[in-house]
Structure 1
Amino acid sequence: MKTLTTPLPAALRDALTSRFGSRFTTSAAVCAHHGKDESSHAPMPPDAVVFAQSTAEVAAAVALCHAHKVPVIAYGTGTSLEGHLLAVHGGVCIDLSQMNRILAIRPEDLDATVEAGVTRKALNAALHDSGLFFPIDPGADASLGGMAATRASGTNAVRYGTMRENVLAATVVLPDGRIIKTGTRAKKSAAGYDLTRLFVGSEGTLGIITELTVRLHPQPEAIASAVCAFPDIPTAVDTVIQTIQIGIPVARIELLDKLSIHAINRYSKTRLREAPTLFFELHGSPAGVAEQTAALRAIAAEHGSMDFEWANKPEDRSRLWQARHDAYYACLALQPGAHSLTTDVCVPISQLAECIAATRADLEATGLTAPLLGHVGDGNFHMLILVHPQDAPGLAKAQAFAQRLAERAIAMDGTCTGEHGIGLGKKKFMALEHGADALAVMRAIKQCIDPDNLMNPGKILPD
């Protein structure tokens, strides 16, 4: 499939100006802002930006672009890590940030319906007095539409699942401007193809999610967070594996290596022991959390933990997890001016220790600097490979390391991306992970829904 585009047609510019007024712009500064994300990919700005305020407006903009065969890229908050929003073939970016209304909260059904531009923090702020919360926490205050499009997860996924498990229904604008609703608020359904799951994770290549209904969860009666340092990474990983295998219902287990902890101490002014460290969080009743805490402490002690510090006060827990969420920027600060080529592999928990050990041996042989951190309760970890954009040999070495890591994870029956998505950076692994026949089915779905290849072209599927 090829996308055939020319500079934005004058007739399309006139039509979008007439429909959206000042909320349509070709300003170079605005386009530049919408042509970059948090990835290491070079910016690729769109030709124009539309600020939509409703599903009907998104449909109108998409229909006009479809009539002129101009690509469309959806934009939420710009926090993606795989170049998802880069305008590879130019076109019109539809910014959904003004679609930020919470349409309904239904405590009795444990669900809420929101527009795509609502962020996870905004939803949880609205839920503050309800006794409920939305648990998916990728770190950044991303929009829920973007999180659904990339099938995001984050620190709480080990207990609450990913966006795949927490989106019940969606409103989607198709490539020709038609609007469909996928799914219902029923907690289960056997009615036909699961279109909701088709669009969750499609990265805007099949349509634009404009509204979604998400699961909510009861706020736990008791929460306890802990930081535990270990003499080395293997003992920390063994602690994680045993914790998961015996069934302790942890809400979060995060691993950071010594370099990541050093970076956090510098960046967030913390005083954590600079050693491989696990961050834990337990949710439940006071008695349940106390019992789980004792079991977790015993497992850690068996594996040589050096200290085990609990944070029970909300402000202490918030400070602890904010430091964890700052880890990405803390690691970037280790080498000012460097970009992070961020890996995102995920393997079965039984393969985690072997995968990390082989990866660290590979890293030491390359001489690269790459802090390790990850949601290891899911078998998901990241290497943040620091490299300066002008360092061509270093970039080539980093890309080769990232490729070996992805291939290693796939060989262990894992994936090249646990939560960031494919975007531009991981297209080359699609055939290896899925096989030629499965990839052909994906292409057929794309061709059927978007025959002109106008929806976020250049992403997911290899050229």
Structure 2
Amino acid sequence: MTRPAPHPPLPEPLVAALRERLGQRFSQGESVRLQHGRDESVHAPEPPDAVAFAESPDEVAAIVRLCREHRVPVIPYGAGSSVEGHLLAVRGGVSIDLSGMNRVLAIHAEDLDATVQAGVTRKQLNEALKGTGLFFPIDPGADASLGGMAATRASGTNAVRYGTMRENVMAMTVVLADGRIIRTGGRAKKSSAGYDLTRLFVGSEGTLGIVTELTVRLYPVPEAMSAAVCTFPDVDAAVNTVIQTIQMGVPVARIELLDALTLTAINRFSKTTLPERPTLFFEFHGSATAVAEQAEFVQQIAGEHGGEHFQWATRPEERTRLWQARHDAYFACLQLKPGGRAFPTDVCVPISRLAECIAATNADLAQVSIPIMLFGHVGDGNFHLVVLVDPANEKEMAEAEWINERVVERALAMEGTCTGEHGIGLGKKKFMLREHGDGAVDVMRALKRALDPDDLLNPGKILP
């Protein structure tokens, strides 16, 4: 991968001003910078020139104003769990670490919403909700910050029932490129008042503004929950079970597909003994009667497609063990190639084209030599390939690029998208024109110029 041109060091007046304002919460230490210049992607680390640890929206605004005065880029940083190079400082600048902004500001149980600072993680919010009978369902796997999840329009295993961050962020506090602080949206369940600025910032990846606070929807904890695992003779059979389940209107909460190699990785990593065959993980939410009816219906559908070895998990500890194994899949796959990195893909297609898309993708996988695992949130047509590579090996990187191109082109031809939940970052910029066309990308560029004319907010991301 090509390296960006060297960038000038931070101006001394800016360093002095930030040190004066933040004290020990401003760092130019090499280890701190490196931590904030790498994520889970295959992209080479690009550390910022400094890191500023913010504790309030006003402080974020002050940092942004100082950086703008000196024409220095700023890159928001949450938990560092992104996989498309979102937080890499490709033009240097100051990383604004929001992890210290981690207060749950308000829980409105009667209105089913909560307001939090951007550094609050999903697990932290759900811990704070204990005793209220409510929970926040968006679960991307990693314990990501809610600000980062909003910025990347994250979703995860529960999206088939509860939607993505797009549907679940009601309001935001955002710092703009000139240091202004604005509030978008509100706590009302609906509004027809003007442009929907909240949706504009959800998925903007820190390129239009820095999210510092957000109000999110909450949901009642289901009366009953059950999970199940079912194996299939091949991936096609599993996918056809998913398609029929969705088309029959079964309100399943989660459906996850894992191929045989992913199960091998999980068993080694999590010390489980799951059959190493194409597998679906299910979860059902609702009343005890409804959950039982859903589960029985899905088991019948699966049986028609050769599904067998149904294992049920109704106790909380059993469900937690099962879904922890699923969440460990990414890191489990990495262990199959020690020292390797994951070159991720995450396309999403209309559910009616899912079987066709995965079948053609599996035919491509048979043509490469590197280990590749397939799994994903297939209930909404979203699946991932975890392509294990040595970034220094040109042949492996070329094979990974080829597979990525093939699966993205196929998804776009099926009226899908190049990314269902990871976002664009650095890794998928080249697909933006193919997916949206010149006209739509020009509108995006116009929005960027209007809100960030100096291109200082997370520059180099999203737009080709």
TM-score of Structure 1 vs Structure 2, range by shorter chain: over 0.9
Distance 1:177 1:32 in 2: 26
Unpaired runs of at least 5, structure 2 = none
Give yes or no for contact 1:251–1:281 (8 Å, CA) kept in 2. Answer: yes
1:70 aligned partner: 72
Q: Give the deviation of 1:40 after TM superposition.
A: 1.0
Please give the TM-score of this superposition, normalised by the length of structure 2. 0.98
Partner secondary structure for residue 391 of structure 2? coil
Aligned counterpart, 1:339: 341
Residue from 138, 156, 159 that aligns with 1:157: 159
1:146 matched residue in structure 2:
148
Whole-Å separation in 1 of the counterparts to 2:339 and 2:37: 20
Offset of residue 3 of structure 1: 11
Partner of residue 446, structure 1:
448
Partner in structure 1 of residue 110 of structure 2: 108
1:254-283 Cα shifts (integer Å, max 9, x gaps): 000000001000000001011000000000
What is residue 253 of structure 1 aligned with on the other side? 255
Quick one: structure 1 residues 271 and 4, their matched pair in 2 at CA, closer, same or farther if it must change by over 3 Å? closer
Residue 397 of structure 1 deviates from its aligned partner by 1.3
Structure 1 equivalent of residue 54 of structure 2: 52
Separation of aligned partners in 2, 1:356 and 1:404 = 12
Q: Match of 2:227?
A: 225
> Aligned partners of 1:250, 1:342: CA distance in 2, in Å?
26
- Contact in 2 for aligned 1:263/1:331 (Cα 8 Å): yes
Alignment match, 1:316: 318
Q: Distance in 1 between matches of 2:315 and 2:345?
A: 33
Q: 2:99 aligns with which of 93, 97, 100?
A: 97
User: What's the secondary structure of 1:367's corresponding residue?
Assistant: coil
Q: Which residues in structure 2 correspond to 1:15-414 (within 5 Å)?
A: 15-414=17-416
Q: Aligned to 1:265, what secondary structure does the other structure show?
A: helix
User: Counterpart of 2:194 in structure 1: which amino acid?
Assistant: G
Structure 1 residue 393, shift from structure 2 partner: 1.1
Deviation at 1:366, TM superposition (A): 2.0
Rounded to whole Å, the distance in 2 between the matches of 1:255 and 1:312 is 20
Deviations 1:134-176 (A, max 9, x none): 0000000000000000000000000000000000000000001
Q: Is the 8 A contact 1:227 1:308 kept in 2?
A: yes
Identity, % of aligned positions: 68
**Pairwise CA distance, 1:367:** 2.6
For 1:306, the aligned partner's letter is E
Q: Which consecutive aligned stretches of 4+ in structure 1 deviate over 4 angstroms post-superposition?
A: 2-5
Contact kept, 8 Å, 1:3 with 1:457, in 2: the verdict is no
Which string of whole-angstrom CA distances, capped at 9 and with x for unpartnered residues, describes residues 229-252 of structure 1?
A: 001000000000000000000000
The aligned counterpart of 1:9 is: 11
Amino acid at match of 2:158: N
Counterpart-to-counterpart distance in 2, 1:157 and 1:305:
24
Deviations 1:385-428 (A, max 9, x none): 01112211111111121011111101100000000000000000
Distance in structure 2 (CA, Å) of the matches to 1:22 and 1:334: 41
- Give the counterpart letter for 2:55 in structure 1: Q
Conserved? CA contact 1:5–1:69, under 8 Å: no
State the Cα deviation string for residues 318-365 of structure 1 (Å, max 9, x = none): 000000000000000011111110000000000000000000101101
Partners of 1:3 and 1:93 in 2: CA distance: 19
Q: Secondary structure at the match of 1:344?
A: strand
Is contact 1:4–1:69 with CA below 8 Å preserved after alignment?
no
Report the number of matched residues.
461
- Aligned-partner residue type, residue 287 of structure 2: S
Three-state SS of the structure 2 residue aligned to 1:250 is: coil
Distance, in Å, in 2 between the alignment partners of 1:363 and 1:40 is 19
Secondary structure (helix, strand or coil) at the match of 1:434 reads helix
Secondary structure, counterpart of 2:249 in structure 1: coil
Q: CA deviation at 1:5?
A: 5.8
Kindly state the Cα deviation for residue 6 of structure 1 after the two structures are TM-superposed. Answer: 2.6
Matched residue type, 2:95: C
Give the deviation of 1:4 after TM superposition. Answer: 11
Conservation of the 8 A alpha-carbon contact between 1:3 and 1:453:
no
SS of equivalent residue, structure 2 residue 89:
coil
Unaligned runs of 5+ in 1: none
Deviations 1:358-384 (A, max 9, x none): 001011012331100000001000000
2: CA distance, partners of 1:4 / 1:184 = 43
Preserved contact between residue 168 and residue 213 of structure 1 (Cα < 8 Å) = yes
Distance 1:223 1:401 in 2: 38
TM-score (norm 1): 0.99
Aligned partners of 1:328 and 1:25: how far apart in 2? 31
Q: Determine the C-alpha separation between the residues in 2 that align with 1:363 and 1:68.
A: 49
Q: For residues 119 and 284 of structure 1, what CA distance do their matches in structure 2 show?
A: 26
Letter in 1 for 2:273: R
Q: Cα RMSD over matched residues?
A: 1.1
Of residues 391-400 and 7-16 in structure 1, the stretch that sits farther from structure 2 once superposed is 391-400
- In 2, Cα distance between the equivalents of 1:12 and 1:402? 41
